[in-house]
Structure formats: C-alpha cells, structure tokens
Structure 1
Amino acid sequence: MHKKKTEKKPPSREFFLSKKTRPSRVLGQNFIRDQSVLERMGRIAALSGEDEILEIGAGLGALTLFLGEKVRRVIAVEKDRRLVEKLRENVSTLKNIEIIEEDILKTEFKRFLRGNKLKVVSNLPYSISSSVLFKLLEERELFSLLVLMLQREVGERIAAPPGGKEYGSLSVLVQTYMDVSLELNVPPEAFWPRPKVDSVVIKLIPLLRPRIQISDEKLFRTVVRSAFSSRRKILANSLSSLLSKEQAEEILKSSGIDGRRRAETLSLEEFGRITEVFHRYNRLKSGGSSVQT
C-alpha cells in the first residue's frame, strides 16, 4: 500500500493543448476533473489496502493516481497511444501501478489475477460502455465488485424494471448475474471536455449464482437479444429469427407466455422459462432445425 500523496493532478486540457490535438470522440474520452467525484467513487468501492483494482480507460491518470494511493495494486488499461507515455509519467512515483497499452475489448482479464478477485473501478469510455459491460459479465467470476462511471442513460437502462422503454437486453443480462445500484449522479461540469449528457456512478456486485435457473448461458443471451432485436414486434415474431414462427409460438405456449406480448413486459423469470423450454427443445428435436447460438 502506498500512502504518498501526488502533488499535482494530470493536466488533461493542458496536455491536449500542448499536443495541438483533441480528446477522441470515437474513444469516448471525457476526463474527470472534480476531485470530489474521485473520492465518492472510492467510498462506493469501499477501497482497502488489500485491494487489487482493474481500471478501464485510464486516460491521463486522475483516477489511477487516486486509486494507487489507497490500494495494493492497480492495473490501468489504456488504448490511446497518444496518452500512454504521459500516463506513465504521471503515475511514475507509485510503483504499485501497472500500465497496459491495450484494447480492453481484446484483453484477457484472467491474466491479471494473483489470487484474490479484482475490483473494477473505472470511468468507462462512453462509446464502448455497453460492449465493455457485456465482456465484464462474461468474466464476472473474476470480480468481487464493479464501480463504473457511465452515461446516465446507460446506467438507467441497466437498473430498469420490466415495463418501461429503458428496459432491454442490457437490463435483463446484468440483473440476472449482478446486484445493481445507482449510486451517484454526476453533472457534465465534472469532466473535461464536458459531455453533452449527464453521467452516473453505478455499483455492480456479481452474484454467487444467477438470479434465475439457466441451463445454457449462451442460449439465454441469444434468446434475450433476439427478443429485444425489434421492440415493436411481438415475441412470436421477434423469436422467429431463431426458429420458424410456428416453432416460436409453440415454445412460448409451452413456457406459459402469450406470444403477443412484447419483450419489455417480460420478467427475468419469464426469460428464464423461455430459455429452458428452448434448451429442452434443442435437446429433444432431431432431424430438424434447432436454435443457433
């Protein structure tokens, strides 16, 4: 654990001015400039001197430095080569920080483990936040806790209950495998450059077992995504992308679900029932089409 205080914060704006360039919109770069936001994220993550932290999208190191002063180890992943050299310089006084220049969507998280599970504390690049969330979900057994800064709209989608326009595949998949809480609303002025949207810090705690019974997780993801692929369609039509409409109607009927309903009205348990019937259908059916995952 390193207690040494850093004398100055990474000068995000000054860095880009000196390089005569701008933060990347493609990479969704907005840097936290409000120290109180970092402190709140730290409290939400319940940081301790034994923690090992994965940070996604380290930028110029404001959050990285804050974490490095409080925990045993920080693995900071940053894709933008323009930033990495300055990031290394900014955190050079702390030897418990590892800088990884890599695309997070191609990163194998398991290689960072040294025994204990990791905590993820990150200001996620907004342009890839959903893709990163799905990847974190797939490797959730590696993590004890996730504290993530997201576009507020994305955070609200994750936490949304059935029945509303925010409820979608992200809601179903995250809530099936994790406890979700919206912890902190963050205004645009807490960042440079200022995003055009509000942000939110969410806390995710991976469950020891899924909230519903799932025999085939890959099939579950396929069913959920297919159901939400066209929100205007009734379930019988949405799921016919996996099988014929007649087969989809048969499976929905066997699940006790009206095929005229739409995906946003289904609970987690109902998605689980559909998947279990699909799973049995695949196992029993021979000589014909089956669900492709």
Structure 2
Amino acid sequence: MQKIATPKGTKDIISKYPFVFQKKFGQNFLIDPNILDKIITSSNITKEDTVLEIGPGIGSMTQAILENAKEVISVEIDKQLIPILTEQFKNYDNFKLVHNDILKVNILDLLPNSDIKVIANLPYYITTPIIMKLLEEKLPINSITIMVQKEVAQRFMSLPNNKNYGAITLAINFYCDVEFICNVPRACFMPIPNVDSAVIKLNIYKRPPIDVSNTELLFKIIKLAFGQRRKTLVNSLSSEFSKDKIREALIEMNLDINIRGEALSLKEYSNLINLIEKN
C-alpha cells in the first residue's frame, strides 16, 4: 500500500476521490514521513495497544498506527472522508471507523476495558476543548500524543511569569506531564497552514502531582486569577474569599501580598487553597 504521508501519496488520494478541503474542520494533512516516524516512535505503540485516533483525515497517520497497534479506533467528523478511509483501510481487520464529533460522542462507549493511547492532529481552533474533554472525563488513557499549533504547545509547557503561562497551563499540568517531541514547520502539511506546529506528548498522571483539599475550588480560583491578569491575586480572588484571608495565606507562604496570579505555580495554588480553607 502506498504511503499516504508524502506529497505524492496525499495528492493521489485527493485526486482519486471527490474531496474538498473544509476550512471549518482545519484540514491540513501531514506529508512529511520523518515527522510521522517521530510521532509513532514517541507514542510507544505496541501490538498490545488500542489507539484512539482523533481526526484521521485521509489517513496520513492512520496507516502507520494500524501497522503498529493492536486496534485503532478513528473518530472523524467530516462525512466526505468516511468513504475514503473505509476504502483505504478495508483490508485492516484492526481498524474501526466512527463518524462523529469527538466533542459530542461518549468516548467510553468506544473503548475497551483497558488503558488506551491517543494520537491526534488536532484542528487549531478546537485543540483545548478536545484535550480538556479527554482529561476531565477521567478516561482510561495512558498518553496523548498530539500535533498542535506551536503557540499552543508553548502555552502547555510554559512556566510562571511568562506571557504564555495561563489557566490552561495549570489545568494541563494538573492532569499530565507534558513532553516536547519536535517542531513541525508549516511546509510539512498540505495545504500549508498559516502557522507552525509542534508534537507534544501528554503522559497522564495516575494521581495529580499535588495534594489539594478541593479540586473544584482549585480550578475556580485559577480561572479567577487569570480572568484579569494585571490584577493582584488578592483583588482577583476577592469575590470568592475575604481579602484578609488571602493576604494571611500569602504571608504564610512567604509570598508578596501584591503578587499576581501569573506568578504562582500549580503547587502554590494548591497550598493557597489548603491554607485558606484551613483558616
């Protein structure tokens, strides 16, 4: 079978089928086999693994995943790609295709009773909602290897007091360890997008790396803290706690009472909540 993740392989499929690129789905297909190899290698797929692939497109990554995994469940939203994928992989008995929106489908209904691995080339406009759905629903996921906009990757891996550091950074780092795999220049896609990409791997924690008394409250105050970045933490959280309580907790943590939310690490946020709730 011809390799799909090449300029020729992609052009051949597009010319063979009545396919029109859908801008609303952020369709940019990988045409660099070297990047594909890095994705497959870093995901550590074995013949014992079930893989959930989100947005297979024309199958650029699907083909390589099928050759390395026990089973592949590919979820594709674009109905015009379903006959293409069905025809391309009809000879693979480990391929299951689901025509649905990953944000609407009950993912647990698709999965076996064992840990899975996720691989995806996510549309830029919907990256965060998809990742947070995967993480928040407490699915049996071992790792998520994804291609995202380079700026998104930087946001996920950012440190405090950095312009890329935000609520999403803390949310991602609550659920998983973020591993950078490689940068992906825009020329590695067809059609060429307006931005560069990166491949990252999210290694899911069995339990969070912090000990926090109230997880729901943790995410609530993180959202408040980054709602207006220029505000001090005391002012940002004053709708939830008294300013005196916040100041007392910051002093006990040896932090400046005028500190802003963007300066605190995930552990410091958990310490802050634990102290406020204790006092």
Q: How does the TM-score come out when normalised to structure 2?
A: 0.89
Offset from partner CA, 1:19-47 (integer Å, 9 cap, x none): 77642332222111111211111110111
**How far is the alpha carbon of 1:92 from its aligned partner?**
1.3
Checking the alignment, whether the CA contact within 8 Å between 2:234 and 2:247 is kept in structure 1 is: no
Q: Determine the C-alpha separation between the residues in 2 that align with 1:32 and 1:26.
A: 18
1:184-241, Cα deviation, whole Å (9 max, x unpaired) = 111111111111111111111111221111233222222212211122222223224x
**Cross-structure match for 1:166:** 164
**Residue 33 of structure 1 contacts residue 192 of structure 1 at CA under 8 Å; is this kept in 2?**
yes
What is the SS of the residue equivalent to 2:74? strand
* Cα distance in 1 for residues equivalent to 2:182 and 2:231: 35
Superimposed CA distance per residue, residues 235-260 of structure 1 (whole angstroms, 9 cap, x where no aligned partner): 223224x43xxx34233224225452
Pick aligned residue for 2:134 from 133, 136, 141: 136
Deviation at 1:112, TM superposition (A): 2.8
Match of 2:247 among 253, 262, 267: 253
For the residues of structure 2 that align with 1:81 and 1:66, how far apart are their CA atoms? Answer: 22
1:85-139 superposed Cα distances (whole Å, 9 cap, x missing partner) = 2122112121211111111112222223323201011111111001112112213
Alignment of 1:178-193 (within 5 A): 178-193=176-191
Give the corresponding residue for 2:125: 127
- The aligned runs of 1:1-293 (5 Å cut-off) are 6-9=1-4, 12-13=10-11, 22-240=20-238, 242-243=239-240, 247-256=241-250, 257-277=255-275
Alignment-mate amino acid for residue 52 of structure 1: T
From the superposition, tell whether residues 113 and 278 of structure 1 become closer, same or farther in structure 2 (CA, over 3 Å).
farther
User: How many Å separate the matches in 1 of 2:109 and 2:126?
Assistant: 22
Q: More deviation in 43-52 or 257-266? A: 257-266
- Which amino acid is the alignment partner of residue 189 of structure 1? A
* 2:103 aligned counterpart, secondary structure: helix
- Give per-residue Cα distances to partners, 1:155-207, cap 9 Å, x unaligned: 11101111111111111111122111111111111111111111111111111
SS in 1 for 2:25: coil
Give the secondary structure class of the aligned counterpart of 1:66.
helix
TM value normalised by structure 1: 0.85
Q: How many residues align?
A: 272
Stretch moving more, 73-82 or 109-118: 109-118
Instruction: Say whether the 8 Å CA contact 2:51–2:119 is kept in structure 1.
Output: yes
Task: Summarize the Cα distance change of 1:94–1:19 in structure 2 as closer, same or farther, 3 Å threshold.
Answer: closer
Structure 1 residues 15 and 251: CA distance shift in structure 2, 3 A: farther
In structure 2, relative to structure 1, the CA distance for the partners of 1:16 and 1:275 (3 Å cut) is farther
Q: Which amino acid aligns with 2:2?
A: E
Residue ranges of structure 1 left out of the alignment (5+ in a row): 1-5, 282-293
Call closer, same or farther: CA 1:279–1:101 in 2, change over 3 Å. Answer: farther
SS class of match (2:237): helix
